[in-house]
A and B are shown apart, each in its own frame.
Chain A
Amino acid sequence: MTTTTDTAASETAAPQTTTTPTHQEVVTHAFVQDVTVPGTGYGDEASTLALITLDNGHDHTKPNTFGPAGIAELHGVVETLRVRAEAGEIQAVGITGKPFIFAVGADLTGVPSVTERDQALGIARAGHAAYAAIMDLPVPTFAFVNGAVMGGGLEIALACDYRTMSAGVPAVALPEVFLGLVPGWGGAYLLPRLIGPEKALTVIVENPLATNRMLKGPQAAALGIADVMFGPGDFLEESLRWAGRILTGAVSVERADHTVDESAWSSAATKARALADAKTAGRSPAPYRAIDLVEAARTRTRDEGFAAEDEALADLLMGDELRAGLYAFDLVQRRAKRPAGAPDRSLARPVTKVGIVGAGLMAGQLASLFAQRLEVPVVMTDLDEDRVAKGVGYVHQEVEQLLGKGRISPDRANRLRSLVTGSTSKDGFADADFVIEAVFEEMSVKQQVFAEVEAIVAPECILATNTSSLSITDMAGGLRHPERVVGFHFFNPVAVMPLLEVIPGERTDESALATAFAVGKTLKKTTVLVKDSPSFITNRLLGRFMGEFSRIVDGGTDVAVADEAIAGLAPMPPFVLLGLVGPPIALHNSQTLHRAFGNRFYVSPTLERIVAARKPGYYLPDGTLDPDVEALLEKPADPVTLTVPEARERILSVLAEEIGLMLQEGVAQAPMDIDLAMITGAGFQFWNGGIIPLLDREGVTAKVLGRRILPPGVASVPA
């Protein structure tokens, strides 16, 4: 298998192309040293344990992974140890990692160049062969899990007879399902037999589908993944001491036979399938394949289990969902860290004080975030004392909650509280370096606010706007220093959603833009550069999506049919989302877009009536349609009832059309930024690669635009 770009070493932020540069695998070596382990205490009769250290020669920022050469080396080392064990030279084999890292799984950087199913099958089988060789060693085997352990790394540990875990391990996971794979180097077979099907499915399916949740070492040990846990300070010494006690029989490990209780397996699988339905609507094959493997592990022999894993891995590796998942993973891991089009970071100016105009709910969220991440004074202003007190009070309340949960210390709480102050006067902005407005979404109001702020602040002070739709250039128009105005668009809830759209106006200078990106990075947001255009990327595309959905429903198609048509696209059904953001805001968005772009964007009469009736949404808290809303629904004289495929085609087509226009207009730097924004700002899914890989995959772009947007192979199996 040849591999492509190397995840961490590559410095290029250029778009991926079909030509995959040959890539040198960073080989994780398997070094071996014999160590003397004691019997019941150091100094007693000793055994010789061959200790394998997994180490790719880099520090912990580049974790151990396994490509073909690494797997081959490990397999070779294990074969040598088998000979030595048979000769009586060693009485045990141990495996540990380099400092802070055990191993984090297979090296997936080569997957884009896998074009034949046989290649995929070869990857699966090579891993299984090496791990089976560990399992077949004639002496006891130990994994000393000293650091982060995921995927194929955890499967090495599962292949050993015994496992010790450091209490300092920061991450234990089988994240394959998150990406679109299954734990197919033995994990799906071995883990349920070790800790039982229910806990195994938590690790294999539930956690990956919960935005790839990871376990800490102690949690993993508590699940039974490790036999014993030791502190990180002398983890290896204590592990070897424990191994010695196992070898002499001074301690032993009792393991339950989980295969006895058939009902536990079927009920765990049923529960997991329901969860997968809820999370993926059946649109990602990986969780279902994983659940099938786990369920069947109860009665399969090891060889049968491993063979089934081989087949599942080969199928998934050759599926577009995985390729889209890897594309999405690369976007959020790599592209998000180096925003395309951002000016050099050295141009950024320091920000030592922040001003926020407005003290409403959004302003409070911003103040809380800026204080926590930037750790500089934040001054909030509003028209009257009451609103100011409310805004500052919101932040203090947030701080109290963090303190109450033990997330911050009392000292830190004091610091954060003292950082955030409020006033009805903007005089406090005089020495601010960055002022952001979060006032009413109306151009004249925002222009007036900026004029007032400009009268007080220094000429270099950044003036940022959290507008979700208005023109940055227009907003800067009347100012003496329009070059310092920049759009800084957050997504609600600010603390949770990673995306931050950064929008320069026509006259915004490089230094102001660099400062905005630097602030965004310090705020730990995913920053995406967007051209100054109505509603930018996410709200525009989401608006087109919601609008078309409403148009179809208003036209007479049942909501359930429309929901089914777009299942697995967004994290929740559109009308549920509408309830969350609030009908007035949703209506305002659609009206804004309609004004900007005309009839492509639909303003729903039903929604207008819901807003007029001051209803909080379509649904009651129990999820059923509000009977009051039922009376407000559009009753078309000539209803058009679409089928699920028809509705799907309609919605996907308008998305393809809108994306085509956005790319043509240069709204986004590249197609990848649209997907990155939809994943991090709207919660679109990995297995669709955000949205564009799905549109390419289903042929929608070809039909609507006459071409694919991403070349084959970038987020799909190469042709």
Chain B
Amino acid sequence: MPRTVSEVVFVDGVRTPFGKAGDKGIYAQTRADDLVIKCITELLRRNPNLPKERVEEVAIAATTQIGDQGLTLGRTAALVAGLPATTPGYSVDRMCAGAMTAVTTTASAIGFGAYDIAIAGGVEHMGRHPMGEGVDPNPRIIAEKIVDPSALVMGSTAENLHDRFPQLTKERSDAYAVGSQTKVARAYEEGRIQPDLVPVATRHAERGYGLATTDEPPRPGTTMESLADLKTPFRPHGRVTAGNSAGLNDGATACILASEEAARELGLPIRMRLVSYAFVGVEPEVMGIGPVPAAEKALAKAGLSIEDIGLFELNEAFAVQVLAFLDHFGLADDDPRVNRYGGAIAVGHPLASSGIRLMNQLARQFEEDPSVRYGMTAMCIGIGMGGAVIWENPHAQGASPSVDPPEATPAGDSTTKDA
């Protein structure tokens, strides 16, 4: 049968403000599923042109799929968010790249023609579900030295990365972290982050209801001095500190993906167009290097080179792993194309949710900067992986004809083939 391969577009994305995990955090007594449900509800409200019954899949990521992050969250969240019973859903886990994987998986199904519109999202309430909750690693992993024991402790893998690349010093990591804090503060001042935040009513048994409207983790005013003496919890006299790493956080994200045709039919915004993506495995004990081979593979698939990428949204699990990426591709530590709104070191990294935060921000930057044609979202992933997704800016000069008005010939890059 003839099969039309569809272009896939990013329609809209939102997230909750991120919170600090733990008893004092803003979401201490807020359910994890409610966080992602609010994101889905907000997406539906912000896009009244999208009839609910046209949402044909809901994929929600969580690393720890237990309790309020379990029960086939994609399906249950869809039902509670008010999507019709006909909308199916499922859960996704690729650790930190859960939401990114929810995006690429549903996008692939859209591209294949299985459906036209999906909601992808992610949530991690690290206060209710600490990393490693209930895990039971296969004993052979240790007995047969299948991976280094340090591979399961993310901070240790970051220390390992400092070992591998001695030029990546603690000072460079701290300087990078200060930059992240500064950029987040500036982006907030300029109102670039707030438009995609979903306010969340937070109930607390002893404090009553509050309303989360801004990220809780950022520490504006962070300096090299204030970072210098922080503890290195993963190794005595190590380099990785709470200051140059992302924290433990609670939060959720979600986005709408659509075939370009469906987006045009419904009049939905087209904010990014998916070009290519790749996930690649690396040695688990240096998982932070993962984005490098993933980016290379995604670039190769797209027929692009690193010079073609005008904007990067890199997840900052650890400063050192971002620096390893920048060094590899010959980018400066403070390259203005990278993380314009700052990153996870400042705003936080609720594991499986973070991938879509990167996409939301890249989509905003595309609108701000039509001179850029291609952008990349990339992140490292626990157990030794990296993920990279390349997007095209529909606002760019010379963007693919497929993102021109509907009268244009459909899908310039699309192919028709017999299946």
Whether B38 pairs with A31 at a CB distance below 8 angstroms is no
CA distance A55 to B210 in the complex (A): 14
B38 A234 Cβ-Cβ under 8 A:
yes
- Interface contacts beyond A33-B207, A43-B195: sample of 19 additional A-B pairs, CB < 8 Å, sorted by A: A31-B208, A33-B208, A38-B199, A42-B199, A42-B213, A43-B191, A43-B197, A46-B213, A51-B211, A55-B208, A98-B203, A99-B203, A231-B82, A233-B38, A236-B211, A237-B200, A237-B211, A240-B199, A240-B201
The answer to whether A33 and B38 have CB atoms under 8 Å apart is: no
Chain B contacts with A in 151-201, Cβ cutoff 8 A:
191, 194-195, 197-201
Residues on the B chain within 8 Å of A234, using CB: 38, 41-42, 201
27 contacts between A and B (CB under 8 A): A31-B208, A31-B209, A33-B209, A33-B210, A35-B209, A36-B211, A36-B213, A38-B199, A42-B194, A42-B195, A43-B194, A51-B208, A51-B210, A51-B211, A53-B203, A57-B205, A96-B209, A98-B203, A233-B38, A233-B82, A234-B38, A234-B201, A237-B38, A237-B198, A237-B199, A237-B201, A240-B211
* Cα(A241)–Cα(B200), bound, Å: 11
Instruction: Output the nearest chain A residue to B210 by Cβ-Cβ distance.
Output: A33
**Once bound together, how far apart are the Cα atoms of A31 and B214, in whole Å?**
22
B contact residues around A240 at 8 Å (CB): 199, 201, 211
A151 to chain B, nearest CB (A): 22
B208 contacts across to A, CB distance below 8 A: 31-33, 51-53, 55
Please report the C-alpha to C-alpha distance between residue A234 and residue B37 in the assembled complex, in whole angstroms. 9
A99 to chain B, nearest CB (A): 7
Q: Is B80 interfacial (CB 8 A cutoff)?
A: yes
Interface presence of B411 (CB below 8 A) = no
Distance between Cα atoms of A96 and B209 in the complex (Å): 8
Residue of B nearest to A233 (CB): B41
- State how many angstroms separate the Cβ of B13 from the closest Cβ of chain A: 15
Q: Are A51 and B209 in contact (CB under 8 A)?
A: yes
In chain A between 212 and 257, which residues have their CB closer than 8 angstroms to a CB of chain B? 231, 233-234, 236-237, 240-241
The reply to whether the CB of B331 lies closer than 8 angstroms to some CB of chain A is no
Give how many B residues have a beta carbon under 8 Å from the other chain's beta carbons.
Answer: 25
Using an 8 Å CB-CB cutoff, how does the interface string of B315-338 with A read, 1 for contact, 0 for none? 000000000000000000000000
A92 vs chain B, min Cβ distance (A): 13
Whether a CB of chain A sits under 8 angstroms from the CB of B418 is: no
Contacts A43-B191, A43-B194, A237-B199; A35 near B210 (Cβ below 8 A): yes
Quick check: is B81 within 8 A (CB to CB) of the other chain?
yes
B206 at the interface (CB under 8 A from A): yes
Task: For the complex formed, measure the closest distance between the CB of A307 and the CB atoms of chain B, giving whole angstroms.
Answer: 33
Cα distance, A32 to B201, chains bound together (Å)? 14
**In the complex, chain B residues whose CB is within 8 Å of the CB of A55:** 205, 208
Measured between alpha carbons, how far is A319 from B38 in the docked complex, in Å? 50
Complex CA distance for A240 and B203, rounded to whole angstroms: 14
> In the complex, what residues of B have CB within 8 A of residue A98's CB?
203
Inter-chain contacts of B200 with A (CB < 8 A): 237
Are B209 and A53 neighbours in the complex by a CB distance under 8 Å?
A: yes
**What is the CA–CA distance of A632 and B8 in the complex, to the nearest angstrom?**
89
- In the bound complex, residues from chain A placing their C-beta under 8 Å from that of B197 are 42-43
A99 to B209, CA, bound (A): 10
Q: With A and B bound together, what is the CA distance between A36 and B197 in angstroms?
A: 14
Listed in ascending order, the chain A residues whose CB lies under 8 Å from chain B are: 31-33, 35-38, 42-43, 46, 51-53, 55, 57, 96, 98-99, 231, 233-234, 236-237, 240-241
Q: Are A233 and B81 in contact (CB under 8 A)?
A: yes
Minimum CB distance partner of A52 in chain B: B208
Which residues of A sit under 8 angstroms from B38, Cβ to Cβ? 233-234, 237
| Nearest CB in chain B: distance from A282 CB, A | 46
CA of A96 to CA of B208, assembled, Å: 9
Cβ contacts under 8 Å, A42 to chain B: 194-195, 197, 199, 213
Residue of A nearest to B197 (CB): A42
**A238 nearest CB across to chain B (Å):** 9
B40 vs chain A, min Cβ distance (A): 9
Task: Provide the bound-state CA to CA distance between A613 and B400, in Å.
Answer: 95
Query: Which residues from chain A contact B191 at a C-beta distance below 8 Å?
Result: 43
A35 to B81, CA, bound (A): 24
| Distance of A96 Cα from B195 Cα, bound (Å) | 26
Whether the Cβ atoms of A31 and B206 lie closer than 8 Å is: yes
Interfacial chain B residues near A237, Cβ < 8 Å:
38, 198-201, 211
A237 to B201, CA, bound (A): 6
Chain A residue numbers with a CB within 8 Å of B201 are 234, 236-237, 240
A615–chain B nearest beta-carbon distance, Å = 56
CB contacts (< 8 Å) of A46 on chain B: these are 213
Write out the residue numbers on chain B whose beta carbons fall within 8 Å of the beta carbon of A35: 209-211, 213
**Contact bitstring B240-275, A, C-beta under 8 A = 1, else 0:** 000000000000000000000000000000000000
Q: Which residues of the other chain, B, contact A231 by a CB distance below 8 angstroms?
A: 82
Once the chains are docked, how many angstroms separate the CA of A521 from the CA of B18? 48
Q: Within the complex, what minimum Cβ distance (angstroms) separates B123 from chain A?
A: 16
Report the bound CA distance from A37 to B200 in whole Å. Answer: 12
**Bound complex: CA A57 to CA B205 (Å):** 7
A12 to B138, CA, bound (A): 54
In the bound complex, residues from chain B placing their C-beta under 8 Å from that of A37 are: 211
3 closest pairs, A vs B, by CB? A53-B208, A31-B208, A43-B194
Nearest-CB distance from B337 to chain A (Å)? 25
Q: Provided the pairs A43-B191, A233-B37, A233-B80 are in contact, do residues A241 and B199 lie with their beta carbons within 8 angstroms? A: yes
How many Å from the CB of A604 to the closest CB on chain B? 61
A42 vs B38: C-alpha distance in the bound complex, in angstroms?
A: 14
Q: List the B side residues contacting A99 at CB < 8 Å.
A: 203
Closest residue of B by beta carbon distance from A43: B194
| Smallest CB separation, A165 vs chain B (Å) | 16
Give B46-91 interface residues, CB cut-off 8 Å to A: 80-82
Residue in A closest to B38 when the chains form the complex, CB atoms = A234
- Min CB distance A451 to B, Å, is 53
Chain B residue nearest in CB terms to A239: B201
Contacts of A31 in B (CB 8 A): 206-209
B42 smallest CB distance to A (angstroms): 8
Q: Which residue of B lies closest to A41 (CB)?
A: B195
Residues of the B chain whose Cβ atoms lie less than 8 Å from the Cβ of A33: 207-210
What is the bound-complex CA distance between A51 and B42, given in angstroms? 22
Residues in B with CB closer than 8 Å to A53 are: 203, 207-209
Tell me which of A37, A99, A233, A241 has the highest count of chain B C-beta atoms within 10 A of its own C-beta: A233
What 1/0 mask marks residues of chain B from 203 to 227 whose CB sits below 8 Å from any chain A CB?
1011111110110000000000000
In the complex formed, the residue of A with least CB distance to B194 is A43
Please name all residues of chain B whose beta carbon is closer than 8 Å to the beta carbon of A38 when the two chains form the complex. 199, 213
B330 to chain A, nearest CB (A): 37
Residue of A with least CB distance to B200: A237
Within 8 A of A (CB), among B279-309: none
Residue of A37, A53, A98 most packed against chain B (CB within 10 A): A53
Residues from chain A with a CB closer than 8 A to the CB of B211 are: 35-37, 51, 236-237, 240
Interface centre among B191, B199, B208, B209 (most CB of A within 10 A): B209
A37, A43, A46, A52 interface centre (most CB from chain B within 10 Å): A43
Q: What separation, in Å, do the CA atoms of A38 and B37 have in the docked complex?
A: 21
CB-nearest residue of chain B relative to A49? Answer: B211
Q: How far is the CA of A457 from the CA of B41 in the complex (A)?
A: 56
Q: List the A side residues contacting B207 at CB < 8 Å.
A: 31, 33, 53
Instruction: For the complex formed, measure the closest distance between the CB of A236 and the CB atoms of chain B, giving whole angstroms.
Output: 4
Contacts of B214 in A (CB 8 A): 36
